[in-house]
Chains A and B, each alone.
Chain A
Amino acid sequence: MLKTLRQISAVGIVTEPHPATDDSLRLRETLQQRILGVLGRALCIREVDAGSCNGCELEIQALNNPLYNLEGLGIRFVASPRHADLLLVTGPVSKHMEVALRRTYEATPDPKLVVAVGDCGCTGGIFGESYASRGRVSNVIPVDVAIPGCPPSPTRILTGILTALESSATSAKGVRP
């Protein structure tokens, strides 16, 4: 126990400031104000791997490490789409995951946001569209913000999530609430 406490105190708080938002990632402008009105900055995210190589998942997981400390921003990952405000979807959407992705989308209560993560989620990436792949996430469900990268860094993913969350009018501030 003593060693554990010593380690915690030796490391201290390593959380870094979060990045500013980036309007170039925004695909459409619909619900942000409404969601902001309801939620402020408290947000629940359901992550859906709809066919990814697992690279994007590794970087999304990193958002929970102490340096990015996503929960410190009031944002957390939840285990059910019924508890979620935002779907974070990686792709390409495999045909075998298409139904599961649609059902997850339908199970998420309105108003909801969708953020596509990674080159594959944005364009289909190197896998493209085929007998087994539907390609980009927006071929299957509406997407608000798309974050390119293979995989995008946690900072880029966080930028995308915050961009989805902020309306373009307030995005210039980029301050921690």
Chain B
Amino acid sequence: MTPRNWWAESTELPGAPGVRALSVSSNDWSRAAQELAAGGARLLALWANRGEHALPKVHAAFLIDSGALLFDLQMTDDDASYPGLEGHFPCASRMQRAMADLCGVRSSDPDVRAWLRHNAWPPDFHPLRNPASQLTDHEAGVDVYPFVRVDGEGVHEIPVGPVHAGIIEPGHFRFSIVGEKVLRLEERLGYVHKGIERRFTELDIFDAHRLAARVSGDSAVAFSWAYCQALEAIAGIAIPPRAAWLRALCLELERIVNHLGDLGALGNDAGFAFGLAQFSRLKENLLRACDAALGERYLMNAIVPGGTRFDLGTIEARGLTSAVTAIVNEVSALRTIYDEHEGVRDRFTGAGVVTPELAARLGLTGLAGRASGQAFDLRCDLPCAPYTEVEVTKIGRSTGDVAARVAVRFDETKESAHLIERLLAGLPAGAYRVTVPLPPAAALGVGLIEGWRGPVLVALEAGAGGRIARCHPHDPSWQNWPVLEHAIIGNIVPDFPLINKSFNLSYSGHDL
């Protein structure tokens, strides 16, 4: 059987450039997954749509050489299960479990443990199935999760979380160890599930970009841009060039802000407090420069439907350019100090290795993927404006250890600063915002933006009268959390904070 040309059969979908869609039967769903996996495709996102009176529909988005390909499978039986994709794309497993919790749509995956539901609501309540239904009083019982146990002489468990020691998000880690060596890590997430997907259906379609920005606060620009990209496409308008350039400016600022924070925290976790002091100072300087030029430290409200909330004057642009230049010059000096510090080098090198082969098999994506030979970056591979004009140099490493993830951050910080310089120098004149008309009901659009962590996807389906029928925001952490479980195997427990920080995955963006 020769592989079918799924791409040729698909039709263009509104949203990011290079996104196409195809409705498939249950057999073709599995066959397509198998053929795409064999061809090196990567799973971008998986979600279900289930109205109160409609039969469920399952959607899968893949990244292939030619672009992003969406499959949708219309189920014909309300209680049937659809073929799971976990055999070809291991990261599909948790997404399928989440779909079962929220939509009541089951896959054929034998792992049927609840994932985002922790007993706060009864198993037969599916928040996305009956958008109007209210949860009746439910006494949350004791939440017992069947972790996989490791047996053997001298094996014991360390439970960590959900409340962690640092100022970070909550989640639970279960380590099975011998001595100091980690045999197995099992994650349990979902603690910050706050009903984001259902909340979308209660908001006005022109207001919900604010919720998108708060899916994961550190990726506000990426999510709000992806949301607006989908909305503008189904409404049938293109944003003015100036708006696209200003959005890219925000996205690159967000990338540098996060990288500076991580580079400091990674130094600290390697026992080099000097690094935290220096990088956190530089991050603060950049946040203040953002505040001065764009009106807020974190760009939670910068991206709005039709463009940006703000315009940028020449004086503000000049201030931002000089702040970024000063910061990047200092980063380059600090990089030399990190590189030459034997203690830091010793902790970074060889810790938490994910080989390129493993990364490809598990679908490691984004920044962490690029440190393990997975050279994918939407800004280069599927560029939207302005990345079609302001080209990005793709960064990559192949050793897949903490050192590689640190190096990618250093390189990307420099590259983003270079981009910011070019974006500000060539900022097109004209409007920075246009009015967005009401999109037609049932129109589906998909936004795709390379956030600092990796590809962010927002699938938006309009409802009637300016409402939202369904909105699924997808954070790359879904793909990368399971890989962290592999990265820690064979490492010692004290290296976990360092390895974990080198991935710096989102809890809120995952738990929704």
Contact = CB atoms under 8 A, between A and B. Distances in A.
B190 A58 contact: no
Nearest to B282: A65
A92 interface: yes
Interface string B193-236: 11110110000000000110011111010000000000000000
Given A52-B508, A94-B194, A132 B163 contact: no
Contacts of A61: 167, 261, 280
B277 A66 contact: yes
B135 A131 contact: yes
Contacts, number: 155
A65 B194 contact: no
Nearest to A97: B191
Given A55-B218, A94-B192, A130-B198, A153 B211 contact: no
A98 B143 CA distance: 12
A100 interface: yes
Which of B165, B214, B277, B340 has the most chain A CB within a 10 Å cutoff?
Answer: B214
A67 B337 contact: no
Contacts of A80: 165
B199 A7 contact: no
Interface stretch (A34-42, A43-51, A159-167): A43-51
Contacts of A55: 214, 217-218, 220, 298, 300
Interface stretch (B117-125, B173-181, B406-414): B117-125
Contacts of B298: 55, 58-59, 151
B169 interface: yes
Contacts of B193: 94, 96, 132
Given A48-B163, A55-B214, A132 B120 contact: yes
Which of B192, B198, B334, B506 has the most chain A CB within a 10 Å cutoff?
Answer: B192
Given A131-B195, A151-B298, A52 B217 contact: yes
Contacts of A67: 281, 284
Given A4-B274, A56-B217, A132-B127, A65 B281 contact: yes
Contacts of B134: 131
Given A53-B508, A58-B298, A65-B281, A96 B191 contact: yes
A92 B194 contact: yes
Interface residues of A, number: 50
Interface string A90-129: 0010111111100010000000000000000000011110
B220 to A, nearest CB: 7
Contact of A3 (B190, B276, B281, B336): B336
A121 B20 CA distance: 41
Contacts of A58: 217-218, 261, 298
B38 interface: no
Contacts of A169: none
Nearest to B214: A53
Contacts of B210: 126
A64 B280 contact: yes
B199 A100 contact: no
Contacts of A49: 167-170, 192
A95 B141 CA distance: 12
Interface string B82-96: 000000000000000
Interface string A1-45: 001100110010010000000000000000000000000000000
A80 B163 CA distance: 9
A117 to B, nearest CB: 11
Contacts of B216: 53-54
Interface in B266-293: 274, 276-278, 280-281, 283-284, 287
Contacts of B376: none
B18 interface: no
Nearest to B218: A54
B281 A100 contact: no
A51 to B, nearest CB: 5
Given A97-B162, A126-B214, A132 B194 contact: yes
B327 to A, nearest CB: 13
Contact of A100 (B125, B170, B511): B170
Contacts of A94: 191-194, 511
Nearest to B190: A96
A3 B337 contact: yes
Contact of B281 (A66, A81, A151): A66
A67 B297 CA distance: 15
B347 to A, nearest CB: 16
Interface in B455-497: none
Contact of B217 (A47, A54, A95, A96): A54
B429 interface: no
Contacts of A138: none
B270 to A, nearest CB: 14
Contacts of A53: 214-217, 508
Nearest to A128: B199
A83 B508 CA distance: 27
A126 B215 CA distance: 11
Contact of B165 (A79, A92, A130, A132): A79
B8 interface: no
Nearest to A60: B167
A11 B280 CA distance: 13
Contacts of A62: 280, 283-284, 287
14 contacts: A3-B336, A49-B168, A50-B170, A55-B298, A57-B168, A58-B217, A58-B298, A62-B284, A65-B277, A95-B121, A104-B163, A130-B195, A150-B300, A151-B298
5 tightest Cβ-Cβ pairs between the two chains A and B: A55-B217, A95-B120, A132-B195, A79-B165, A65-B280
Interface of B: 118, 120-121, 125, 127, 134-135, 140, 143, 162-163, 165-170, 190-196, 198-199, 210-211, 214-218, 220, 261, 274, 276-278, 280-281, 283-284, 287, 297-298, 300, 333-334, 336-337, 340-341, 506-508, 511
Given A55-B218, A58-B298, A94-B192, 8 more contacts: A4-B341, A11-B278, A54-B507, A58-B218, A77-B166, A100-B170, A126-B214, A151-B217
